[in-house]
A and B are shown apart, each in its own frame.
Chain A
Amino acid sequence: MFHMIIKKIKNKLWLTLCLLLGMAFLVAVFSCQPMFKKGSLNMLLDSSFRERVEEENEYPTVIGRPGAYNVEGLSGVADVVAGVDNYHKVWTEYLTNVDVLAKQTIIYFDEESCQGSYGSKGNYLKVTYMPDMMEHTTLLKGDGYNAGVSDSQAAYPCLISQYVMDEYGLIEGEILNFVNWKDEKGNTLKLQITGIFKESDSADLYWQMEPNDFTEHVFVDSVTFDEIMLKYRTDSTSYTVNYKHYTMLDYMDIKSSNLDDIEYYMQEFIKADSNFFYSFQDIMDDFKSERKTVNIILWVLELPILGMVLAFIFMVSKQIVESERNEIAMHRSRGLSRLQVIAMYGLQAGIIAILGLLVGLPLSYLLCKVAAGTTDFLTFSFENIWMYTFAPEMLIYGVIAGLVGVIFVLVPVISATKVSIVEHKSDTSSGKKPAWEKYFVDIIILGVSIYLLYNFNQDLENIRANAIAGSKMDPMIFLDSLIFIIGLGLVVLRLTHYLVKLVYKLGKKIWKPSMYASFLQITRTTGKQGFISVFLILTVSLGLFNANTARTINRNNEDRIYYENGADIVLQEKWENKIFFIPVRDVDYEFQEPDFNKYQQLVKDGICDDVTRVIYDDKTTVSYSGKDIKNCMLRGIITDEFGRIAYFKDELNKTTHWYNHLNSMAAKQNGVVISSNLAKELGISVGDSFRASRMGAIPQKEETVRGTMVCEVTAIVDDWPGYDRYYYDENGDLKENYLVVANYATVAKSFKISPYQVWMKLSEGVSYEDVEDFLENNKVDVESIGILDEDISRMKNSPMIQITNGMFTLSFVIALILCAIGFLIYWISSIRQRELLFGVYRAMGMSLKDVNGMLINEHIFSTFLSVIAGGVVGMVSTLLFVKLFGVVYLPEKHNLDIYIYFEMGDIVKLSVVIVLMILVCILVLRKLLKSLNITQALKLGEE
């Protein structure tokens, strides 16, 4: 039997290779799931940890506990250190796979009153000891603990941070006298400041609490700490040594795979020790909810690819079985049972599946790396792919995929073994309608999907709210698009059948014999040809839909980032607020304007095309006919510079180009552009005037009006560069922002010097690094900075976008490959099967040209129509579904519409592949036909 199977495989080498390709893809696509999931989840986790570091400047994975010991039971500070170490040891014993990068223990007495010897005010300070401190410390002044201290005063050496020095007005050499702390002889405790310290390396993880966080601590070494502990007593009744301990875990060791374990341990630690704390429960919670979404998205995005590959396997297997029907029927009439025949094919499929597994697993690894390297649709950058590593589950997934593949190979065999040779002979010519066409399955599927779509659209606000709230998305939204594509694809196919029939009927009398034969071929073999048509329609429409969805999501995301940032770089320098006392015991302030002229150097150096100032104030009060709106956003712009620098999408200009708004505003000294929600709230329109008041910038002056200007509305807009219409307050409620944009000169004159942002337009080919160098060289104290390119790259590397792009790209590429190969094998093997028929046509005197013409006609009316239909289906589903996807993917807080993007490039790529595949097909067919020997072909029929 085995020998026979090998012979069978050899006989149908090409088809078998196609089957192998299908199997390999099936294994690859299915088994890359766990690897891709693992990698993307790790990336998700990693990026949440990094975000914590970058945005909040906090190390994300800290565990620890505070505690206190009664001094009475201690023999020295070493006892405290040992006690803390014990806790640390117990924790790390459970967290075996997580490295500890650093630990910080702060041991201190309660604050005590002290007097500085140089006359500084009386203060309360905590005497503190920190193990290993000196290894992580640089002295700014003084010689540290080893310095000589004042013997006459019997003082101990101590260190203070820069903050304490500034805050309390202390200096090096000053002696602190702790008046409540006395030894047996009644002498008070004296510490002499022998050093001002800072951290050696600001990135050193040891400093979980940084030097400047110690706002009320003086540091001593262990010897001094012991002396104090053992020799001195205060008046307070309870006398304790306190500590805080932090252990910094390596967050790179916290992976999606061990996260659940770690969370379990953390909860167990807390149960056992109520003082225990850890800093990353919120990250784990967010991750767990996103993990669900990633799981769903991955499956949902993978489903169409798997469907396509399975359809491909089914199609190839059907072709093989069709060409072996005689053989199968013969086996059956020679007494082989159905089961035996199926087993024979099963064994053959098994061999192919095993080979498929061998090819598929490495391919899976490769596909996963490619998908992981996708930063945009069909765009790759392989920076982050190291996170994606082999997952052992891939083997299991591969085997399951192989088994499913075998089942799909066997489906056509099972139906073919039903009939005996007699039935088979009389069955070969029947042109039965496929079941879906007969029972209107297409219409039903389409109806269901449209109903679902309608419901989703009705529920759009809820879906948007859920997406913003970050709750998991409904996979039905994605599945519905797939159902819709299948339904519409089949309906369009049905329509093309009707169309072909109509064309045939209309010209029935005049058709040349070749056209006559080809029309009959198309209309009478819908069952057989239907499958390749369905396959073509689905692959083309899915490919197009995926491309459009990916493009739309990416481009809208980019648009939003452009809009939110407003310009290439938006920099806010730190403005000092000079506070001074005025008579009547009050304070006032004045902003210190940093030097703006230095930025002109950026333009001179060719780094920036333009720089401009934008005054910003989010606490402006707007008043109109007795109504006040507080906390409005005021922006003061220099209109022509702003126009050149700011990004604003043309489509957002609903009535007129936004330059016209700038011009009308510039034409009037007090002209302003306001947001439409403000206009509505106040009931004002263009031409009306209102008052804008600037309030005090320091807490004491928040209610004081610093300046007022009268504004005349010259334009009302929905959108403005950098303007977010909505925001969430601390209770999570959606609130609106109100915007007033005024002329820079007017604002500056009315409100005195006010902080402004510097907006920059980078020159062609210049990156942020050049600006960064400039900022460093000029020692610019940056309060905040928005960098467009970095935001875009962060967006592109965000796991959700990355998964989507990866999957859509894979899907598109696989669709193209399968579509091309599927199409070729269908045609070539169908020609092989029709060789006798061609022999008859040729014998009856049909010229080679006519036979070719006939095939081209078939191509036009089945392939070409299918491809066009696929294109139409792809576009219609894009128009109907992409906006819905956008709501899920782009839960942004402004009111920007989602614009549907499709890139001609994708359509061109798709078309080139299809045209190439048709060309290759026609060439192969011509060659086959040319070599067709009429008399040989006719002999075929005699067998």
Chain B
Amino acid sequence: MQMYNYEENILIGTGIVRCFKTGGEDFYALKGVDIKIPRGSLTILKGRSGSGKTTLLNILGALDQPTKGQVIFDGEEIQELPESAREAMRRNDIGFVFQSVALIPIMNAYENVDFAMRLAECEGEYDDRIKHVLNIVGMGERMQHMPGQMSGGEQQRVAIARAIAHSPKIIFADEPTGALDTETGLKVMHLFKKLVEQEGITIVMTTHDPNLMEMGDVVYEVEDGEIVGRYEN
């Protein structure tokens, strides 16, 4: 079993509340969540659909703002930053993998990765890095293919390559296996494990699939807008 330096949490959320107005009434998607994401770990947010795990992931990933509470990313309090700084953070320090795959349909595998690197304004020669990350996810052979010509699993692998290409500090993945069959889902999870272990990347992902729990280093159980459990494997 690997040892973690719990003092070195890349992301710390305290008292996170997220309230939505629906039809004049307040709906609390998150009701005061405290969470810590250890650096270099694969953290899983587990919960049924509607439990609030995606809302939490969005807030942690600087896509959404909490109604109350505090998120500190690598020593910086996210909600205090201006929008432009949060955008820069998303471009440079964060990688996203969405459930809906969300590859850019007009770009082939290579260009999708290229695009993320351009956004992050990475230094150096892009070509080698793009080929490298596509090789890591096993898509080196198909980098000229358009998303429409790939299977769901392949698209997800390209999305992961895109998320890691610019060497972000952390990757957020919302139900990355949700649209995949069990076998492909497992492959993606192994890829995540490999990235954490070999590249030292921090990954936070959500899932409702109980079979994947044991693959995470840390598992938070989210239910009804609150964290009801935390396990370490």
**Least distance between B207 CB and chain A CB atoms (Å):** 14
Question: A524 — which chain B residues lie within 8 A by C-beta?
Answer: 106-107
Question: A836 — which chain B residues lie within 8 A by C-beta?
Answer: 100, 102
Please, how many angstroms separate the alpha-carbon atoms of A427 and B101 in the complex?
Answer: 16
**Least distance between B199 CB and chain A CB atoms (Å):** 19
**Least distance between B41 CB and chain A CB atoms (Å):** 22
Chain A 410-443 interface mask (CB, 8 Å, partner B; 1/0): 0000000000000000111111000000000000
Minimum CB distance partner of B126 in chain A: A509
B89 touches A (CB below 8 Å): yes
Please, how many angstroms separate the alpha-carbon atoms of A429 and B107 in the complex?
Answer: 9
A844 touches B (CB below 8 Å): yes
A942 touches B (CB below 8 Å): yes
Of residues 39 through 57 on chain B, the ones whose CB sits less than 8 Å from some CB of chain A are 55
Interface residue from B83, B96, B115, B120 paired with A843 (Cβ < 8 Å): B96
Known interface pairs A426-B148, A428-B105, A429-B148; A941-B118 also in contact (CB < 8 Å): no
Known interface pairs A428-B148, A837-B105, A840-B104; A845-B98 also in contact (CB < 8 Å): no
**Least distance between B7 CB and chain A CB atoms (Å):** 29
- In contact, A844 and B96 (Cβ under 8 angstroms): yes
A846 touches B (CB below 8 Å): yes
Q: Which of A427, A511, A524 has the most CB of B within 10 A?
A: A524
B84 touches A (CB below 8 Å): yes
Interface residue from B94, B98, B99 paired with A840 (Cβ < 8 Å): B98
B129 touches A (CB below 8 Å): no
Of residues 107 through 155 on chain B, the ones whose CB sits less than 8 Å from some CB of chain A are 107, 111, 114-116, 118-120, 146-149
- In contact, B105 and A844 (Cβ under 8 angstroms): no
- In contact, B90 and A844 (Cβ under 8 angstroms): yes
Please, how many angstroms separate the alpha-carbon atoms of A839 and B115 in the complex?
Answer: 15
A520 touches B (CB below 8 Å): yes
Q: How large is the interface on A (under 10, 10 to 19, 20 to 34, 35 or more residues)?
A: 20 to 34
- In contact, B106 and A845 (Cβ under 8 angstroms): no
Interface residue from A431, A513, A843 paired with B106 (Cβ < 8 Å): A431
A938 touches B (CB below 8 Å): yes
- In contact, B119 and A845 (Cβ under 8 angstroms): yes
Question: A845 — which chain B residues lie within 8 A by C-beta?
Answer: 87-92, 94, 119-120
**Least distance between A861 CB and chain B CB atoms (Å):** 14
**Least distance between B153 CB and chain A CB atoms (Å):** 14
Q: Which of A511, A836, A942 has the most CB of B within 10 A?
A: A942
B63 touches A (CB below 8 Å): yes
A852 touches B (CB below 8 Å): no
A525 touches B (CB below 8 Å): yes
Please, how many angstroms separate the alpha-carbon atoms of A431 and B104 in the complex?
Answer: 13
Please, how many angstroms separate the alpha-carbon atoms of A846 and B119 in the complex?
Answer: 7
B9 touches A (CB below 8 Å): no
Chain B 157-190 interface mask (CB, 8 Å, partner A; 1/0): 0000000000000000010001000000000000
Interface residue from B100, B118, B120 paired with A512 (Cβ < 8 Å): B118
- In contact, A837 and B104 (Cβ under 8 angstroms): yes
Please, how many angstroms separate the alpha-carbon atoms of A347 and B37 in the complex?
Answer: 57
Q: Which of A431, A520, A938 has the most CB of B within 10 A?
A: A938
- In contact, A840 and B119 (Cβ under 8 angstroms): no
Question: A941 — which chain B residues lie within 8 A by C-beta?
Answer: 98-102
B79 touches A (CB below 8 Å): no
- In contact, A935 and B116 (Cβ under 8 angstroms): no
- In contact, B148 and A430 (Cβ under 8 angstroms): yes
**Least distance between A926 CB and chain B CB atoms (Å):** 16
**Least distance between A33 CB and chain B CB atoms (Å):** 44
**Least distance between A852 CB and chain B CB atoms (Å):** 13
Please, how many angstroms separate the alpha-carbon atoms of A521 and B147 in the complex?
Answer: 14
B58 touches A (CB below 8 Å): yes
Question: A520 — which chain B residues lie within 8 A by C-beta?
Answer: 106-107, 111
A contacts with B: majority SS: helix
Please, how many angstroms separate the alpha-carbon atoms of A878 and B178 in the complex?
Answer: 60
B64 touches A (CB below 8 Å): yes
A934 touches B (CB below 8 Å): yes
Question: A390 — which chain B residues lie within 8 A by C-beta?
Answer: none
Question: B101 — which chain A residues lie within 8 A by C-beta?
Answer: 941
- In contact, B87 and A846 (Cβ under 8 angstroms): yes
**Least distance between A835 CB and chain B CB atoms (Å):** 12
Please, how many angstroms separate the alpha-carbon atoms of A495 and B162 in the complex?
Answer: 34
Q: Which of B89, B105, B107, B111 has the most CB of A within 10 A?
A: B105
Question: B55 — which chain A residues lie within 8 A by C-beta?
Answer: 935
Please, how many angstroms separate the alpha-carbon atoms of A37 and B132 in the complex?
Answer: 72
- In contact, B58 and A935 (Cβ under 8 angstroms): yes
A91 touches B (CB below 8 Å): no
Question: B100 — which chain A residues lie within 8 A by C-beta?
Answer: 836, 938, 940-942
Please, how many angstroms separate the alpha-carbon atoms of A308 and B58 in the complex?
Answer: 47
Minimum CB distance partner of B147 in chain A: A429
Question: A516 — which chain B residues lie within 8 A by C-beta?
Answer: 114-115, 118
Q: Which of B90, B101, B102 has the most CB of A within 10 A?
A: B102
A517 touches B (CB below 8 Å): yes
Question: A935 — which chain B residues lie within 8 A by C-beta?
Answer: 55, 58, 63-64
- In contact, B146 and A429 (Cβ under 8 angstroms): yes
Known interface pairs A840-B98, A942-B99; A429-B119 also in contact (CB < 8 Å): no
- In contact, B116 and A429 (Cβ under 8 angstroms): no
Question: B107 — which chain A residues lie within 8 A by C-beta?
Answer: 517, 520, 524
Minimum CB distance partner of B120 in chain A: A845
Chain A 810-851 interface mask (CB, 8 Å, partner B; 1/0): 000000000000000000000000001101100111110000
**Least distance between A863 CB and chain B CB atoms (Å):** 18
Minimum CB distance partner of A524 in chain B: B106
Question: A843 — which chain B residues lie within 8 A by C-beta?
Answer: 61, 63, 90, 96, 98
Please, how many angstroms separate the alpha-carbon atoms of A295 and B84 in the complex?
Answer: 65
- In contact, A429 and B99 (Cβ under 8 angstroms): no
Of residues 565 through 619 on chain A, the ones whose CB sits less than 8 Å from some CB of chain B are none
- In contact, B119 and A426 (Cβ under 8 angstroms): no
**Least distance between A778 CB and chain B CB atoms (Å):** 82
Interface residue from B98, B99, B106 paired with A521 (Cβ < 8 Å): B106
Please, how many angstroms separate the alpha-carbon atoms of A520 and B99 in the complex?
Answer: 24
Question: B90 — which chain A residues lie within 8 A by C-beta?
Answer: 843-845
Known interface pairs A836-B100, A847-B87, A941-B100; A525-B115 also in contact (CB < 8 Å): no
Please, how many angstroms separate the alpha-carbon atoms of A38 and B115 in the complex?
Answer: 63
Please, how many angstroms separate the alpha-carbon atoms of A429 and B115 in the complex?
Answer: 17
**Least distance between A516 CB and chain B CB atoms (Å):** 6
**Least distance between A304 CB and chain B CB atoms (Å):** 34
Of residues 914 through 943 on chain A, the ones whose CB sits less than 8 Å from some CB of chain B are 934-935, 938, 940-942
Question: B96 — which chain A residues lie within 8 A by C-beta?
Answer: 843-844
Q: Which of A429, A844, A846, A940 has the most CB of B within 10 A?
A: A844
Minimum CB distance partner of B146 in chain A: A429
**Least distance between A510 CB and chain B CB atoms (Å):** 10
Question: A839 — which chain B residues lie within 8 A by C-beta?
Answer: 102
Please, how many angstroms separate the alpha-carbon atoms of A846 and B90 in the complex?
Answer: 8
Please, how many angstroms separate the alpha-carbon atoms of A620 and B119 in the complex?
Answer: 89
Minimum CB distance partner of B90 in chain A: A845
Q: Which of A521, A525, A845 has the most CB of B within 10 A?
A: A845
Minimum CB distance partner of A847 in chain B: B87
Minimum CB distance partner of B58 in chain A: A935
Please, how many angstroms separate the alpha-carbon atoms of A82 and B161 in the complex?
Answer: 109
Please, how many angstroms separate the alpha-carbon atoms of A942 and B206 in the complex?
Answer: 14
Chain B 60-101 interface mask (CB, 8 Å, partner A; 1/0): 010110000000000000000001100111111010101111
Please, how many angstroms separate the alpha-carbon atoms of A513 and B121 in the complex?
Answer: 9
A-B contact pairs, 30 of them (CB 8 A): A428-B105, A428-B148, A429-B106, A431-B106, A431-B146, A513-B119, A517-B106, A520-B106, A521-B106, A524-B107, A525-B106, A836-B102, A837-B105, A839-B102, A840-B98, A840-B102, A843-B61, A843-B63, A843-B90, A844-B96, A844-B119, A845-B89, A845-B90, A845-B94, A934-B64, A938-B63, A938-B98, A938-B174, A941-B100, A942-B99
Known: A516-B115, A837-B105. 9 other contacts (CB 8 A): A430-B146, A520-B111, A836-B102, A844-B119, A845-B87, A934-B63, A938-B63, A938-B100, A941-B101
7 nearest interchain CB pairs?
A941-B100, A845-B91, A429-B105, A845-B90, A429-B148, A513-B118, A524-B106
